[in-house]
Amino acid sequence: VEATADEAAERRLALRQAQEPRRDGNWAIATARLLAVRSAHPGTPEAIEAWVLEARAWLEGGQAQRALDATSAFLDAHGEAAWAGRMRHVAARAYEQLGKPAEAAAVLKLLVDASTAPEARAAIARLHKALGDKDYEGEEKTDDLGRKKRVRNLDGAHTAYTHALRVGLPAAEAKDVRIRLAEVAEKRSQWKEAQGLLTALLAASGVTDKDDLGAVAGADRENVEAGGVARARMDLELNRPAPARAALTLALEEFGAGRLRLEILDLLGRERIRAGRRGDATAFEEGLVFWRRAIKEHRTTDRARAIWQDVAELLIERGKFQQAAKELQQLAENEPKAEAKAAARYRAAEALAWAGLHD
């Protein structure tokens, strides 16, 4: 390993030394030394870079044909290399010096096509997406107390996903990025941006109003389910209960057996509870119906247990302490973790004490 590192350092030093005559305008010496570097270290990154610098030195020294010969040989050998674009620029300038504008234009067109073709743009966009995925998924870190925690870079993910969409992804991949970007926006409490992204997702799936939801099939149907439910969640955050309730009611009808059923029931319950706090006399009971359905159907999940806790807190809020205590006692029996069991039992005891039952 040490020998390999030494060899790499030796190559970098040779390349730096070979460039010095070029900086001084000694083109003949520069081309000779750069040729020596690539001859001595064939196939290495330094040799490829030396080849590019050699072609530029020929051009800068007024030897356009020699420069063109160098670019042609390079592109034959390394046409897909990262340096190929730079070499095509040298070739275009060489053609111009040789009085061949048509050939120069043809080379420049290749450069433009390579950077603007849908395939090229998609490749660049995928790189941005990969960066966004890395930032969104985060990395596991250990705090001062030895606890492991996954830390996400939501700002970085937002920037990378935005770039990916702007550069241009195929439609199917763009949908996935919009969903992820909406999740990022939501986690950053940017509700309007998240809702706009979800609206674009639904539009891309052919959905322009709620009556279209049931007609969507296949993979798009999954996107519509996720997008529609998430957009309703945004409506709730933006204090727009009517469209949220309408969308969630329709989602329960159209996707009631889907993977988001628990979330749909939870959100419908929350919308009704908020309506009760605004003065709707029957909304509290309607909300509890949705929440109890969610608990009954999904009682082994963490989200259902969190809803169960919310049910108990709502009953405490409304002065129904004995009912709340009963809910909390049942929750304690279903909690798998000792700490959560103890917390639920303690809260149940508090509720009973507030009811005047101290035994």
- What is the rounded CA–CA span in Å between residue 321 and residue 14? 82
Residue 210: its pLDDT value, please?
A: 46
Low-confidence ranges of the chain (pLDDT < 70): 1-5, 111-117, 120, 202-225, 358-359
Residue 104: its pLDDT value, please?
A: 77
Residue 117: its pLDDT value, please?
A: 62
At 140, which helix (H) or strand (E)?
Answer: strand 139-142
Residue 217: its pLDDT value, please?
A: 40
SS (H, E, C) 214-282: HHCCHHHHHHHHHHHHHHHHHHHHCCCHHHHHHHHHHHHHHHCCCCCHHHHHHHHHHHHHHHHHCCCCC
Task: Read off the pTM.
Answer: 0.52
Of 263, 245, 186, 231, the closest CA to residue 255 belongs to 263
